[in-house]
Amino acid sequence: MENTIIEFKNNPTVRIGCTNKYTRCNYFIGVNSNGVLRFDQDLQKRYEWNIVLSKDTFFLKTIIAETSYYLCVNQHCKVVLSQIQDNTCKLKALWSPDGKICLMANSLSRIENNTVHGPLIGYDKDGFLVANTGDRNDIHTQWTIYPSRFFSQPSTQARYLSDVNKHIEMWNGNFKLIRQPTKQYKGELTTLFAYPTSTQVKTWAIVMSAPPTPISSQTVCAVSFNAYDYTGSTELAPGTMIKAGSHFIFKTIVANGPESSKQKVVSKFVIEAQLFSCKLTKVGQIDAPAPPLQQHVKVYHLRETPLVNFSDPQFREWLNTYNLHPRLLFDGTYEPALAFAYRVLLFIKVHFVYHFPVVTGKRVIDTISTRHTDCGGFVRLCTAIFRCHGIPARGLYGRWAKSGHDKSPQFQFHVKGEFFIGNVGWVPYDPALALGDSSEPFTKHFGYNSGEFFTMHIDDNITDIETSIISSTRTTEALQSPSFWATGQGEFKNSTLDSNWVVIEK
C-alpha cells in the first residue's frame, strides 16, 4: 500500500477506511443496497466513492441502483446521506503528515463545537459514524484513502512519478542553461491610495520593491518610484532606496501635501528591463560551468523562514511518509539532483490543486494539510523541500510583462521558483503553471523560463521596514504592489488601493 499512488483529484474511485481502534479491524464507509449508510468490513463496490472536487472543497459520491448518494453532515451534526448535492455535502480535507485524512464538514466549520477545525467525521465505540468527534489528532477521526478494489488506470503523470528509471534516463548527464534575450520592456504600475472624507491624512509612507539585477531572467536598465497627487500629474515626493531586512525597497514620504492628498495620493513605479528566456538543455560536455554560489549567498538560500518552516516535525514526517528524499540507487549513488527536483514537481502535480485566495494559512505545514494553495504557496513548498535537502532555492515574486488591472480575472502578479545546481546555475521552474501541463513528459514549466516576467523581489517576508512615521518597523509578505501607512486625524479604516499595470515593448 505504501507504494500505491492515490490521486485525490476529480472523479477517481476510492475506498475510505480505517483500523477501528476498538475492534482492531479494518472498517470502510459505504452504502448498502437499500441506500442506508454503513460502517463495516464490507468490500463490495457499493463501498466505493467518487471524489468530486469543487474549488477548495469536495463531495464524496456513490451510486446505488442508479441513485446517487452524497456523504454529508446535517445541521444537527449527524453523518447522513443525501441525494442532493448541496452545501451540507461539501467536505474539506485536512491531511496528516502520515498521509491520513480528516473529513471536515465545510458548511458547519464555524459553529460552536469541541474542535478547532469544525465538525470532523469519525466513529464512536459502538461502531456508528458520528460528527463533531474530538480533534484531527484523534485516531478515530483519521481515515485512509485506499484505491478501488476494481482496478482503474492511474493518470499519465502518476505513472511518470513512479517511474524511477525514466527519471534517471531524463536527468542523468550534463546540462546547461541556454539564456537568450527576448524583448526589452517598460512597465508602469500606477496605484491610487484613498481614504474616506472622514479621514484627514497628514503623512503618507509608501514602499515598493526594488527589483534585483542582474539575474538570469532580467537586467534592469532603469527603475523609479515616486508619489503624485491623485490625478497622477504633479509629483509630490521622490522615492529613495532603503534596506529592509535582506531586501532593498523604495520608500516615498508625502508630508503636508496639497488639500487633495488628505484623502488620496498616487504612486508610480516604472521599470525598464531586458528580459531573458532560459532553457535547461542536455549537452555532451559543459564548456563553461556556472560559478558556484558565494558562501553567504548559499546560506541565505538555505535558510528557514516563518512560512518556509521545513524543520517543523510535521513537515519532516510528511517528507518521510512520501519518500520525498533523494533516492539511493542500486549502484550506491543517489538520484541526480535534477531528477529529484523533477520528482518533487510531479508529486505536487499529482497530489495538489491550485486555489486562490489562500485562507487556511500560508506556512508549508498548512499547505501539506489542505493540499491546495496558490502560486506563492507552491513555490514555498518546493523551496522548503529543496532547502531541507541542501539545495539552494528561491522564489521570484513579480508580474507578467502584459498589461492589466489588478482586479481583472487574469492576475498580473505571479510567483515562480528557481533552485541552484552546481555547474548548471539557477534552474527555473513554475509549479503552479505545471499543474496545467498535459504534455508528456511534463517539463514545459521545469527548466524553462519564457522571458516574459518582471521579477520584483526574491523571496517573501520583507522585514524591518522603516516607515519614518510609525515607531516600530513593519513586515509585509510580498511587494508586487506597493504597501502604505498613514498618520493624521480620523479613523484610518476603509482604505482602498487600486493598481493598473501598463507594459509596452521598447
pLDDT digits (tens, 9 = 90+) for 366-387: 999 989 999 999 999 999 999 9
Burial 385-407 (b: 16+ CB within 10 A, else e): bbbbbebbbbbbbbbbbeebebe
Cell 527589483 appears where?
Answer: 211
Q: How far apart are CA 458 and CA 416, in angstroms?
A: 10
Q: How far is Cα of residue 320 from the mean position of the Cα atoms in its chain? A: 21
| Number of C-beta neighbours around residue 270 at 10 A | 15
What pLDDT is attached to residue 481?
94
**Residues shown for the chain:** 506
Q: Give the architecture-level CATH label for domain 157-174+287-458.
A: Roll (3.10)
Question: What does 263-302 look like in DSSP terms, one character per residue?
Answer: TEEEEEEEEEEEEEEEEEEEESS-SSPBPPPPHHHHHHTT
Q: Does position 133 have pLDDT exceeding 70, yes or no?
A: no
Higher confidence at residue 32 or residue 264?
264
Task: Give the cell for residue 218.
Answer: 532580467
Mean pLDDT score, 228-246: 95
Instruction: Give residue-wise pLDDT tens across range 260-319.
Output: 999 999 999 999 999 999 999 999 888 889 999 999 999 999 999 999 999 999 999 999
- Which is more confidently placed, 352 or 11? 352
Q: Give me the residues paired with residue 505 across strands.
A: 185
Q: How confident is the model at residue 340 (pLDDT cuts 50, 70, 90)?
A: very high
Map out the domains of the chain as residue ranges. 13-153, 157-174+287-458, 178-275+466-505
Number of helices (H), then strands (E), belonging to the chain: the values are 8, 31
Query: Pick from 311, 365, 317: which is nearest to 98 by CA?
Result: 317
Q: Residues 455-500: pLDDT tens digits?
A: 999 999 999 999 999 989 999 999 999 999 999 999 898 999 999 9
Assess contact for 294 and 218: CB atoms under 8 A. no
Q: Smallest Cα–Cα separation from 485: which of 207, 82, 270, 275?
A: 207
For residue 57, what is its C-alpha cell?
A: 472543497
> Quick one: fold of 13-153?
Trefoil (Acidic Fibroblast Growth Factor, subunit A) (2.80.10)
Could you give the angle at the alpha carbon of 190 between the alpha carbons of 185 and 192, nearest 5°? 170
Whole-number Å distance between alpha carbons of 48 and 98: 22
Inter-CA distances, 16 with 245, 429, 431, Å: 47, 35, 29
| Segment 60-104, tens digit of pLDDT | 999 887 889 999 988 788 889 999 998 889 998 888 888 888 888
Round the average pLDDT of the chain to a whole number and report it: 88
- Measured CA to CA in angstroms, residue 407 lies from 199, 404, 494, 501, 502 at distances of 25, 9, 17, 11, 14
Among the ranges given (114-118, 237-241, 304-308, 324-328), the one the predictor scored with the smallest mean pLDDT: 114-118
CA–CA separation, 31 and 81 (whole Å): 9
What is the average per-residue pLDDT within 161-174?
A: 91
- Average pLDDT value for residue range 8-14: 74
Neighbours of 437 (CB within 10 A): 17
C-alpha to C-alpha distance for 398 and 355, rounded to whole angstroms: 19
Per-residue pLDDT at 212 exceeds 60: yes
Partners of 84 in the β-ladder: none
Looking at residue 3, its pLDDT comes to 40
> In terms of Cα–Cα distance, which of 275, 263, 488 is closest to 396?
275
Q: Which helix (H) or strand (E) segment is 31 a member of?
A: strand 26-31
> Class of the 178-275+466-505 domain?
mainly beta
Q: Contacts from 460-463 at CB under 8 Å and sequence distance 24+?
A: 460/305, 460/307, 460/376, 460/380, 460/395, 460/397, 461/245, 461/305, 461/306, 461/307, 462/209, 462/244, 462/245, 462/247, 462/249, 463/244, 463/245, 463/246, 463/247
What value does the mean pLDDT take over residues 26-55? 81
The residue with cell 479613523 is 491
Confidence band for 408, pLDDT divided at 50, 70 and 90: low
Per-residue confidence (pLDDT) for residue 485, from 0 to 100: 96
Ranges 14-23, 213-222, 272-281: which has the least confidence: 14-23
For residue 505, pLDDT over 90 is answered with yes
| Chain mean position to CA 482 | 21
